[in-house]
Structure 1
Amino acid sequence: MLTDAHGTPLRVSLTGGHRNDVTQLLPLVDGLPPVRGKRGRPRRKPRALYADRGYDHDLYRRRLRERGIVPKIARRGHAHGSGLGRIRWVAEAAIAWLHGPRRLRTRWETRDDMHDALFQLAHCMTLARKIPAF
């Protein structure tokens, strides 16, 4: 899942349990739609990307820098206390919101497409709660 600074989920994807999360980092970043904000051209990419130790790979850090994104990823083997937890909690909260429906907490579906459909529906429901109505 990729969220903004307020915990609004921007992109979600479903992968197998045996896949490493870092393999989905670049497809999520590349698939971001333009984001409205201040006047002018909409942003196509984030300025910085915060992630936990599971994403600590030099190859992906380099690929993010090539895209103009500053990687703020905790290093493996270093003591905790980097301060990223004060920022990353919004992503953890967004994951908890997505797993709010009981059907998604434990994977009961045997078909990937059915589970993905329920996952995308939960994503839409989370967006409907987070984005103010006009």
Structure 2
Amino acid sequence: MTTRPWIVDDDLWARIEPLLPPWPERSPGPKPVSDRLCLQGILYVLCQDTARQLLPLELGFGSGQTCWRRLDRW
């Protein structure tokens, strides 16, 4: 099991989560990566000053493209 570096702690996530739009119930396709993991991936890319395409899948945040699309959706 891979240990994820938690950039967003539980207290901060409790404040952010209510501000995000809910995922559509009848959304086609596989179950999406959680909003918290996508936010972690977005912040990881920003903090590491790297291209989103280089987000390591081993961290478990989803792909850089997934995180980018979620940010666009928000």
The answer to whether the superposition gives a TM-score over 0.5 is: no
The structure in which a higher percent of residues are strand is: 1
The structure in which a higher percent of residues are helix is: 2
Q: Which has the larger radius of gyration?
A: 1
By relative contact order (CA 8 Å, sep 6+), the higher-ranking structure is 2
TM-score by length of 1: 0.20
